[in-house]
Structure 1
Amino acid sequence: MERCLVGLIGAGIGTSLSPALHEREAGRHGLRYLYQLVDLDRLAPAARDVGDLVSAARRLGFRGLNITHPVKQDVVRHLDDLAPEAAELGAVNTVVFDHGRAVGHNTDRYGFAAGLARQLPGLRLDHVVQLGAGGAGLAVASALAGAGARRLSVADVDPGRAERLARAIAGHHPVTVEAIAPEEVPARLADAGGLVNATPIGMEGHPGTPIEPEHLRADLWVADVIYRPLETALIRTARALGCRVADGGGMVVHQAAASFQLFTGYAPGEDRMYADFLELVGDA
């Protein structure tokens, strides 16, 4: 039986569903698959360098790694090569060890696009406001541009990060991207069709909403990349107002499926993995 050792590096990942999602799908393909969590919050400060962790995983015979907040961009400089989508975004969520080389990929873009299409088909994409311009935000913006968005307004607490995202996305897609300050979001939402939260606000350990509820309205669609909890305060509030909503479940399942295929070479059953996800969330 083929063996596969993979892992996830990130902060606050103790409740991640990635191990169960990957291992269940691997079992269907007859693989001996072990998915390890490397939680930066549980390591001593001196042991948290993502480059050292990637090197250690390579030495220990890992097939690959998933990478999450807050090191999706930091990990890039520690890799030997980047797949085209990772090079475009400057962010990596999947590392594959191939003949001794560490190659970075980004399956978040596919994950968000596939999840949004699953949960909210037929969206109005003429103008979308996005909150957050980090590693996940880059993938979300690229996915929105690829899906046909004509205008993106991106806000981040770090103005330079939002500006870098705007340049990166506009350089690869026929879309107008503007970097805005957080206080400008309500005005931009007035003529936008959709809102996406790509910040950590709303996840476990980061409670609250990234925008005041009075700025939402019923004809706005709202998406969140967070899946723990699945119903964030933002999603709950938007749904109560009558908005069409997409939680973070679609993104996490579809990015996991794409990573699984990179690690193993086997085509995953994405509908099966989505059903697994719903079961796991229900049991949590």
Structure 2
Amino acid sequence: MTRYAEVIGDPIAQSKSPLLHGFWLDALGIDAEYRRVQVTTAELPAYFASRRADPGWLGCNITKPLKIAALDEVEDRGDVRGSIGAINTAFRGEDGAVIGTNTDAAGFYAPVADLDLAGTPVTVVGSGGAARAVLFALARIGAGPVTLLVRNPLKGAGLLAAFGLKGQALPLTAGTPPAALLVNASTLGMTGEPPLDLDLSPLAEEAVVYDLVYAPLETGLLAAARARGLDTVDGLEMLVGQAAVAFELFFGQAPPRERDDELRDLLTS
């Protein structure tokens, strides 16, 4: 019986997750596979029904546009629906049940854990599943006020309220307010998507710009931030961080994070 995990989404060809998990599986000598499968929202129920019946299936990572819809297909034992409101991982529990969780919040926070963000202004772009994980993490560390730049400010205001964050929701055209941290949690700037064109001049010299997009790795936003001399965090940081938590849920072993530099070279080659 082949043991395997997967990443699902629509589209999915751009995902680096198979390369990442495959590196860790080889490094640890684990006899298992990690696959890429395109799944639409309409196909989600059938996907989970088939995998639930397959004893070799260990779980899956979940990417756009499935992070919210997938909640209906799993057991939500950690009340992810009531906290983050979206999942990015489903795994088979010891009792055989398929359980949903979210590793994005931990993956997002790890690269900025040394920043003192409590009580400091943060700007977040986006209102989807990734943005929900970012807002959850920001609420947990007491960051704020938070400015949410979104296509639908009414929806954005609802998100801020849901996470108990003080701040404001503005349209993308409103411009970038002063902030200690600017996070792009949208798909803008991703290959095949419109660019994210923001004026970074209001940001202080010590501000950090964090783009969750990793395809391409050097986004227009990060290039503009580096041109201003700002510190940056690219999307591979969160990708690897959230994947490490999921890997242990799938395969029962922690990945060899001491080989992160080697992994990063592989992912960017």
Distance 1:51 1:210, change over 3 A: farther
Counterparts of 1:233-252 in structure 2 under 5 Å?
233-252=220-239
Q: What is residue 216 of structure 2 aligned with on the other side? A: 229
Q: 2:152 aligns with which of 158, 167, 186?
A: 158
Instruction: For 1:163 and 1:255, locate their aligned partners in 2 and report how far apart those are by CA, in whole Å.
Output: 27
Q: What is residue 281 of structure 1 aligned with on the other side? A: 267
Q: Report the count of equivalent residues.
A: 266
Instruction: For 2:54 and 2:112, locate their aligned partners in 1 and report how far apart those are by CA, in whole Å.
Output: 37
Q: CA deviation at 1:124?
A: 5.0
> Which runs of no fewer than 5 residues in structure 2 stay unpaired?
none
Q: Alignment partner of 2:243: what SS?
A: helix
Instruction: For 1:194 and 1:243, locate their aligned partners in 2 and report how far apart those are by CA, in whole Å.
Output: 10
The amino acid of 1:240's aligned partner reads A
Q: CA deviation at 1:147?
A: 3.2
1:201–1:208 Cα contact (<8 Å) kept = yes
Q: Alignment partner of 2:169: what SS?
A: strand
Q: 2:59 aligns with which of 40, 59, 64?
A: 64
Q: Deviations over 1:141-181 (max 9, x none)?
A: 122233341321112213343133212211xxxx4243333
Q: Which is helix-richer, 1 or 2?
A: 1
Distance 1:216 1:193, change over 3 A: closer
Query: Do structure 1's residue 202 and structure 2's residue 185 form an aligned pair?
Result: no
Q: 1:112 aligns with which of 100, 108, 113?
A: 108
Aligned residues: CA RMSD: 2.3
Instruction: For 1:242 and 1:123, locate their aligned partners in 2 and report how far apart those are by CA, in whole Å.
Output: 20
Q: What is residue 166 of structure 2 aligned with on the other side? A: 176
Q: 1:95 aligns with which of 83, 90, 93?
A: 90
Distance 1:165 1:270, change over 3 A: farther
Q: What is residue 78 of structure 1 aligned with on the other side? A: 73
Q: Which moved more, 1:196-205 or 1:218-227?
A: 218-227
Q: What is residue 138 of structure 2 aligned with on the other side? A: 144
Q: Alignment partner of 1:51: what SS?
A: helix
> Which runs of no fewer than 5 residues in structure 1 stay unpaired?
none
The amino acid of 1:7's aligned partner reads E
Q: Deviations over 1:238-283 (max 9, x none)?
A: 11111111111110001000000111221222232x3243112332
Q: With the length of structure 2 as denominator, give the TM-score of the two structures.
A: 0.89
Instruction: For 2:116 and 2:221, locate their aligned partners in 1 and report how far apart those are by CA, in whole Å.
Output: 19
1:8–1:68 Cα contact (<8 Å) kept = yes
Q: Deviations over 1:125-147 (max 9, x none)?
A: 50001110110001111222333
Q: 1:129 aligns with which of 110, 123, 127?
A: 123
Distance 1:252 1:241, change over 3 A: same
Instruction: For 1:116 and 1:51, locate their aligned partners in 2 and report how far apart those are by CA, in whole Å.
Output: 36
Q: Deviations over 1:167-214 (max 9, x none)?
A: 2211xxxx424333323343xx13x22211001011111141242456
Instruction: For 1:29 and 1:64, locate their aligned partners in 2 and report how far apart those are by CA, in whole Å.
Output: 19
Q: Which moved more, 1:256-265 or 1:140-149?
A: 140-149
The amino acid of 1:90's aligned partner reads G
2:146–2:168 Cα contact (<8 Å) kept = yes
Instruction: For 1:213 and 1:185, locate their aligned partners in 2 and report how far apart those are by CA, in whole Å.
Output: 9
2:135–2:163 Cα contact (<8 Å) kept = yes
Instruction: For 2:62 and 2:188, locate their aligned partners in 1 and report how far apart those are by CA, in whole Å.
Output: 19
2:180–2:203 Cα contact (<8 Å) kept = no
Q: With the length of structure 1 as denominator, give the TM-score of the two structures.
A: 0.84
